[in-house]
Structure 1
Amino acid sequence: MNTDTGASPEDLRNRLVDAILQQDPSGLRDARVESAMRTVPRHAFLPDAPLKEAYANKSVTIKENPDADALPLSCASQPDVVHFMLVQLAVREGDNVFEIGAGTGYNAALLQHLAGSSGHVTTCDIDPDVTAYARRMLDANGCDDVRVVTRDGALGTEEFSPYDRMIAAVGMWDLPGTWWDQLAVGGRLVVPLRWRGLSRSVAFRREKDRMTSDSVKMCGFLPVIGQDGERNDYIDDDRLVRLYWDEDQPITPELLRDALTGPKSVVWTDATVGPVESFDGIWLRLSATERATCRITANPAAMEAGLHRPASPALSPALVEGDSIAYLTVERTAEDPVTEPRFRLGAVGYGSAGADLAERICAQIRAWSPARTVEPSITAYPADTPDTALPDGAVIDRPSVRLVITY
């Protein structure tokens, strides 16, 4: 049950929104979304969480996974992510909105606030425990007009379509064909899309024969149940270094078993970043230029055993071809006590083609450095679209769509 922190829920809610507007790196702003988040009481959808936790800028688990090594089954999303995804969605008064991933019902309440009395909101989840919880919370908070449906979100809810806006609160590896059918031409889809080991909130505009992005922002979400096109495995005997890749990539972890114990090639660029400056765009550029792009994670024990440190041990971009791998790395530049520390960017490679792969990563670091905030364009086409109808760019095929990523 919520407990007294000495501050009212309204004060805590306003402080949270103030902090989001000051600190959110997405740069996205919308006065209507701000108003909704200052109005809808998040704590009321998390009655078992202390007020301080309900109004902290972090996700809150509402259903644990019985598998101790697996991710939770359902969470209340982190508020700053909720904020910028709603800005990306741009809900208008009177819109018909579909949400995939019901969570606590809080996001659906925000959507109802934005769509107004003339709009309609339908939220869907595959887990009946989650939808039952969302239904209780929505009813308890005066949102009984929100439709709550227990169904695989990939099927959509055709009976209430067409939709002006669709938003997914779960990580999607594919864009189901049913969504194309149920989203009106001219509508918007915001989805945490997963490809090449990364996850980004992509805002698509629905056109007649395609969906075209106009916003791509960093995010992380629990993956949707039922889409199993992502692969992962350890590449060392001690199970300390792990790769994540897509099923369409010809990556064989067994070929890399000996690579990390052999000689390494380290290549540096002149590009540097400050201690809190993002270099996320390098990964995006790699995914748009290198089919071999994937993700590497390394346990601290791997570095203690001699592995060259990835730029971010928990999730760094890598290139893998055959028996060779290279990944992004950073190194602090010479100390200067009167200036902010800087870190130069480079890549380290292992295996017979490790040096070449490292050079290719550095080429994308150099391409990114002078235009660090530029976002790629991601265009989704139906899976039966012929090659001749696709623009130039990196093509990533999924069962339902063909993604084209360009700069």
Structure 2
Amino acid sequence: MTEATGQRAAELRDRLVSELVNAGHITSAAVEAAFRTVPRHLFAPEVSVEAAYADDIVEIKRDERGALISTMSAPSIQALQLEQAEITPGMNVLEVGSGGYNAALIAELVGTTGQVTTVDIDPEVTDRASRLLEAAGYSRVRVVQADAENGVPEGAPYDRILVTVGAWDIPPAWRRQLAPSGRLVVPLRMKGVTRSLALEVEDGRLVSRSVGICGFVRIQGEGRHDERMWLLRGKQVTLRFDDAVPSEPELLDGVLAREPVAAWSGVTVARAEPFGTLPFWLMTTLPGFCLLSVDPSDGGPGVAVEPGGRWFPFAAVEGDSFAYLSVRPSGNEGRVEFGAHGYGPHGGQVAKAIAEQVRQWDRDHRHGPGPRYEVWPADTPDDALPDGTVIDKRHTRVTISWPHAGILAPNRAVQPVDE
């Protein structure tokens, strides 16, 4: 690397970190110092220095079908998880998912008195991480090639476990290998929607302390869980079911041939305004919640949208009909109105149900703290669980509880799909 390249990298690194601080992604002096110290470009030799310091992912590996299976996450997402973890000097930290750069950031946070272990199932990924960590001066990070479903018992207990791949469940090994006062930060997928949860042990279960919006490549190995899909129009329009599939999905065949019916909520948001709790409110109140995928490359939008509006992937199926969240321009410039478009004989009813839940979210939860997430052992009886929605997984039962008892969704278990 030339002196000019090194100077350019330092300038870009400082600019990136300042942007992350100004945007609120970095909130602590310790995380800021780690980001200003670790040379991100040394962990991204596949791309330019400019690309290495963009707030975007860096691709590491794709599978034989071309799907991404390993990336270096965007800096803003890495900052989110590190802030959630609250790592301090001297801690023993396990990272699940190895890219190298994030492990180096953790090494800066734990200091010379702490320990960092990073584990990945793919030997190509761990070989790459080992090589880059060594070259960047972080040989003290221990790199392990293994299926993280079993954690890394050598070196446990860990004060922090950071999972940097999307997980569908929390295997018992992670819980066992967490120190009594430890914290697990994990991007957990719940009915298709992922959130980064900072979890701590409390009375035998894991309880959320903070929640962040995120996106990660999915975990491989024994912990992998594939969605079930129902194609509505070739490969262009698909409904994705993460936990439970309708008993008769074939009733939806040909549903897109009907004219859509729209229902509008009267609830508006600014185009750039976040609404991260809305998907979870819909998830916990709408039977048949699923995700809608549309590939517009086959020609046309695939599903109905209003002029100047857009569709969102959050949908619900009821028998022979379904509807999905959408927006249209409102009367106020720069704002859009939430609603839904429905297809099928009862699509209008499903769309109205979505619109009604948007109104209830706006009235009761839009400006609130959001739900409480708890992760219980799989053998926990129903009467020991809090009010709310229950999502049953292989190893755990996840509960999502909203803060106002009078308007909680009913306790409703979602059974897992057999692998």
TM over 0.5: yes
**Could you tell me which residue of structure 2 aligns to residue 341 of structure 1?**
334
Q: CA deviation at 1:300?
A: 2.6
- Among 60, 63, 69, the alignment partner of 1:62 is 60
**Could you tell me which residue of structure 2 aligns to residue 85 of structure 1?**
81
**Could you tell me which residue of structure 2 aligns to residue 323 of structure 1?**
320
Amino acid at match of 1:309: V
Q: CA deviation at 1:150?
A: 0.3
Moved more, 74-83 or 245-254: 245-254
| Distance change (3 Å), C-alpha of 1:53 and 1:251 | farther
**Could you tell me which residue of structure 1 aligns to residue 10 of structure 2?**
10
Inter-partner Cα distance in structure 1 for 2:264 and 2:190: 26
**Could you tell me which residue of structure 2 aligns to residue 391 of structure 1?**
386
Structure 2 residue matching 1:8: 3-state secondary structure: helix
Structure 2 residue matching 1:159: 3-state secondary structure: coil
| Distance change (3 Å), C-alpha of 1:382 and 1:359 | same
Moved more, 203-212 or 302-311: 302-311
2:107 aligned with 1:109: no
Q: CA deviation at 1:359?
A: 2.3
Deviations 1:356-391 (A, max 9, x none): 322221222112224435322110001111111100
Deviations 1:221-280 (A, max 9, x none): 000013443324243243211112123343654321222222432111111111211233
**Cα RMSD, aligned residues only:** 2.3
Amino acid at match of 1:284: F
Structure 1 outlier segments of 4+, above 6 Å: none
CA contact (8 A) 2:287 2:317 kept: no
Structure 2 residue matching 1:309: 3-state secondary structure: coil
- Among 37, 40, 43, the alignment partner of 2:38 is 40
Inter-partner Cα distance in structure 2 for 1:212 and 1:289: 21
TM-score using structure 2 length: 0.89
**Could you tell me which residue of structure 1 aligns to residue 161 of structure 2?**
166
**Could you tell me which residue of structure 1 aligns to residue 20 of structure 2?**
20
Q: CA deviation at 1:53?
A: 0.8
| Distance change (3 Å), C-alpha of 1:6 and 1:332 | farther
Amino acid at match of 1:38: R
Deviations 1:196-241 (A, max 9, x none): 2211111111224100112121111000013443324243243211
CA contact (8 A) 1:333 1:344 kept: yes
Amino acid at match of 2:366: R
Structure 1 residue matching 2:227: 3-state secondary structure: strand
Deviations 1:37-74 (A, max 9, x none): 11111011122321101111110112232223xx2221
Number of residue pairs matched? Answer: 397
Inter-partner Cα distance in structure 1 for 2:201 and 2:56: 31
| Distance change (3 Å), C-alpha of 1:252 and 1:86 | farther
Inter-partner Cα distance in structure 2 for 1:53 and 1:377: 37
**Could you tell me which residue of structure 2 aligns to residue 282 of structure 1?**
278
Moved more, 283-292 or 231-240: 231-240
Q: How does 1:117-196 map to 2 (within 5 A)?
A: 117-196=112-191
Deviations 1:317-374 (A, max 9, x none): 101122211110111124x6xxx42111111222233233222212221122244353
2:358 aligned with 1:365: yes
CA contact (8 A) 2:287 2:318 kept: no
Moved more, 144-153 or 344-353: 344-353
**Could you tell me which residue of structure 2 aligns to residue 215 of structure 1?**
210
Inter-partner Cα distance in structure 1 for 2:310 and 2:276: 11
**Could you tell me which residue of structure 1 aligns to residue 199 of structure 2?**
204
Amino acid at match of 2:114: G
| Distance change (3 Å), C-alpha of 1:2 and 1:327 | farther
Inter-partner Cα distance in structure 2 for 1:95 and 1:257: 55
Inter-partner Cα distance in structure 1 for 2:163 and 2:45: 24
**Could you tell me which residue of structure 2 aligns to residue 49 of structure 1?**
47
Inter-partner Cα distance in structure 1 for 2:173 and 2:272: 40
Amino acid at match of 2:77: V
| Distance change (3 Å), C-alpha of 1:7 and 1:272 | farther
Q: CA deviation at 1:398?
A: 0.3
**Could you tell me which residue of structure 2 aligns to residue 298 of structure 1?**
294
Amino acid at match of 1:11: E
**Could you tell me which residue of structure 1 aligns to residue 417 of structure 2?**
none
Amino acid at match of 2:385: L
